[in-house]
Amino acid sequence: MKSMEYIYSALILNSVGKPVTEDGITEILKAAGIKPDPARVKSLVASLEGVNIEEAIKSSMVAATPVAQAEPQKKEEKKEEKKEEKKEEKSEEDAVAGLGALFG
Going from the C-alpha of 1 to that of each of 28, 29, 36, 37, 100, the distances in angstroms are 18, 15, 12, 11, 70
Give pLDDT, residue 98. Answer: 53
pLDDT exceeds 50 at position 73: yes
Domains of the chain, residue spans: 1-51
Average pLDDT of the residues of the chain: 80
Among 32, 31, 33, 9, residue whose Cα is nearest residue 21: 9
Q: Is the pTM of this model over 0.75?
A: no
The CATH number assigned to the domain with range 1-51 reads 1.10.10.1410
